Each structure stands twice: as C-alpha cells, then as structure tokens.
Amino acid sequence: MTDRGNSPASRDIAHYLHPYTNLAVHEQSGPHIVTRGRGIYVTDDAGKEYIEGLAGLWCASFGFGEEELVDAATKQMRELPYYHGFAGKSVHPAIDLAELMKEIAPVPFSKVFFANSGSEANDTAVKMVWYFNNARGRPEKKKFISRLRGYHGVTVAAGSLTGLPYAQKDFDLPLDFVRHTMTPDFYRGAEDGESEEDFASRCAQALEDMIVEEGPETVAAFIAEPVMGAGGVILPPRTYFEKVQAVLKKYEVLMIADEVICGFGRTGNMWGSQSYHIKPDILTCAKALSSAYLPISAVMITDEIYQAFRTNSEKLGIFGHGYTYTAHPACAAVALRAQQLMQERDILGHVRAVAPRFQARIQGFADHPLVGHARGVGLIGALEVVADKDSKRSFDPAAKIGALVQQTAQDHGLIVRALPGDIVGFCPPLIITEAEVDEMFDRFTRALDEMTRQLKQQGATAAQ
C-alpha cells in the first residue's frame, strides 16, 4: 500500500470498515471520497465532477443540495431535535407524514409504522407477519417465500429474504423460515419459443408448487420488489403479478410489496405496485421517502392486520416492537417535505415526461456488441453485458467485466452500479432533465466503446 501519511485516504483505510467492499482491495486502492453535490452531480476531493447515475444507492430522488429539505431538517432540529414514539408519545411530523402516506398509498392501508432503513422495514414486516398469525391462532403459518436474486436488506431476517449469495455466504444465512422461488427473468429464464405470459405462468406455477410442497398451512407471506433492483433491474414479465397474486389468494398467503427502490415515482407511478397491478397486504418503503437526506423507512399495513395487532396488544398489554428512532422528528419532517415537494412540483409528471427519452437511450444500446439485453421502466434501467449476443454467453466471472465497465464509466465522469452478472444499473435522480439524460448516456457510450476496444484487443469477446 502506498504511504499516504495522515491523509483522509490513509485514515479511511485505518479506521473505516466499509459496507459492500472488498476489504483487501480497499487497503490498496483506498476510498473515493465525495465532498459535495448539486443537482444530479457530485464532486470528489480532487475536484472532479460526476453525474450520479444511480442517485447514490437508488435513493436521492431530489438529487443533491435541495434546500427545501435542508431547511425542513434545520427547522425541526431547532424546534424538537428528538423525541420517541413509545407509550403513545408522538410528534407533529410523524402524524402528518403517516396521514399523507395513507393518502398516496396504492391500496387502502390502516396504519403506518416508521423505521430507519429498508432492511429494518422488511425485518419489521417479518415480525409483523408472525405476530399477525399468532394473533389469528395460526402459529404454524410462519414461512416466507422470496425470490432468487431478490434484495430485501441485510439484517438477519431481511438478509434471509434476500436471494443473493454475497449477502448470505459465511453470515449463516438464510435462516430456515425462508424459501426462494425462481427469478422472473425472461431474458435468462425463458425457454425457446416461450412467450412472456407463458413464462409468467411457469413462474406462478413454481410458486404454487412450492407452497403446496411446504404445506399451505405453514406459508405466511410472499415478498417481492415490483422491479428487482440490486438483482439486476429485472422487470416482471407480462401478467406475472396477476398470476402470482391469484396463487397467494388461493392459499391465504400475504403479499408484501418491497417498494424500497420502486416507491415514490421511480417507475413512472407513485408506486411500483401501481405499475404492475399489485395489491399488497403490507408495503415497505424507504430511500426516496426522504430522498435519502435523513434515514427513515415505513411499513404500511391493512386494517385486517391492524385489527389483529390491536386485539393481541390488548391481550398482551403492549405491541412490543419499535425503535429508538421510530419517526425521529427531523427524519419525519424531511420525509414529509419531500413528499409535499413531489406533489407541489409534479415530480411524477416530470418523470413521465423525461422517461421516454431515458428509455429510448437505454434501448439505443440494444445493438451494441457488448450488450445482450437493455431494459427499463420509468427512470430505472439496466444493460446486461455479454461476451456473445447470439448465444447470450456471459464473460468469465473472474474477469469482473461489470466492475471494469463501472470503473471506466467513472473515469468518464459517470457513476453507475455494477450488479451481479455483469449488469450495469441506471437510476438517476428524478429531477434529471432530458439534456442531462443525454449527457449521462453520452458519457456511458464513450466508456462502453472504450471497454469494447480493450476487450477486442484482448480477444475476450466474440463481438465484431
């Protein structure tokens, strides 16, 4: 490792344990330190500016430096910097935010519970489902089904729901209450000649077979992202959720919509559930709830679930779940202002106006020699990089092509995210303009063309 003295980089390496990072490599390469942001751009400590093509981690919907959100946090911190929600205590921002969230929800919900992250929201949903079924006298109905390549967080329960090996290997996950059904990835999973609808039917049948095999009396809930984010920006095939929900209803299995990435305008509707005709019993959300300016997440539940909670808490004397920072007043105030701005500025209208350009540029890569599949909806999309388009042959995972594309894009002033399977994800702030969409994809074009030249020189691709 190069001696960096007492620089920020050397102190980072010495003291900061980074999430989702190759720690050995980090000791050699050091951190990429970002110092400020404005709009869709961030700037590092060397003064280089980048387009933040993933809105941080799928979350900074208003970009960087939105003064309305800064002011909301500052005002609330001066008035009441902290209070809790235990034993019936409350604060005005929590009340107002819960009320607003019910108004904009995709289905009628009864109550809103606040937590601090998407992982916590999904962990809470697990406990809620168990509590609900115990209250209903069904103590054996406790298993969850999620999907391979689904991402639902990294706490012990949420990490078990996640269907990605890197979040589970050597953490002794998943726990034994979780089963994983097939990924609804039409590009990779469809059989020759199979239509999207037929593929969706096969996915639904696989889910039903799993429920029957496990015993319907033991299966409590199915959790799914409307669009699978970290697993590769996988859009559901046509009729998928309609068919899946018919199976769930048949066996009295709750539907949990994980809207941590899809919620608050990302797919062109307020909720991914609206884009894909999902009627959830429980909805979890986070990230763009506050545009990630302060940590907050939420779990919304139907009245049937709430009434069971009410009866059980009366029997037990308490609903024994909550966090020190549940509905933290500053976090709730920022989230409330973010959702008010969504309406005041017609952000949904803006997304719908800009999305066609975004999607046209994504699809414009479909003929690129390195791109096997281009996909997206609203202002989220992905490109799947392959060694051979005709056969869909992937590169050797050891080559880490996705990471190389990510780094090359960064060299060209664009931050994107390499996802498992050499997939590159795009999810810019919702405030992005058409001109900025073009600049983002122009930078990526230069990066991808550079990668193509390098790979051809190495003989690593069949692309001509």
pLDDT bracket for residue 459 (50, 70, 90): confident
> What is the biggest distance separating any 2 CA atoms in the chain, rounded to whole angstroms?
71
Contact, 257 vs 275, CB < 8 A? no
Mean pLDDT calculated for residue range 6-11: 94
Give the pLDDT confidence score for residue 457 in this predicted structure: 84
The tens digit of pLDDT for each residue in 108-151 reads 999 999 999 999 999 999 999 999 999 999 999 999 999 999 99
Q: What is the pLDDT of residues 56-85, one digit of tens each?
A: 999 999 999 999 999 999 999 999 999 999
Q: What is the pLDDT of residue 461?
A: 57
Give ∠ CA 152-167-284 in degrees, rounded to 5.
10
Residue ranges of domains in the chain:
32-65+347-458, 68-344
Number of DSSP helices (H) and strands (E) in the chain, helices first = 16, 15
Query: 303-343: per-residue pLDDT in tens?
Result: 999 999 999 999 999 999 999 999 999 999 999 999 999 99
User: What pTM, to 2 d.p., does this model score?
Assistant: 0.95
* 181-194 pLDDT, tens digit each: 999 999 999 999 99
Question: Does residue 23 carry a pLDDT above 80?
Answer: yes
Helix (H, G, I), strand (E, B) or coil at 339: helix
Q: Which fold has domain 68-344?
A: Aspartate Aminotransferase; domain 2 (3.40.640)
pLDDT, tens only, 223-260: 999 999 999 999 999 999 999 999 999 999 999 999 99
Average pLDDT of the chain to the nearest whole number = 96
What CA–CA distances, in Å, run from 318 to 184, 307, 308, 314, 322? Answer: 40, 14, 13, 7, 11
What sign has the CA pseudo-torsion 213, 217, 220, 225?
positive
Share of the chain above pLDDT 90, in %: 96
- In the CATH scheme, what architecture does the domain 32-65+347-458 have? Alpha-Beta Complex (3.90)
Contact (Cβ atoms closer than 8 angstroms) between residue 384 and residue 393: no
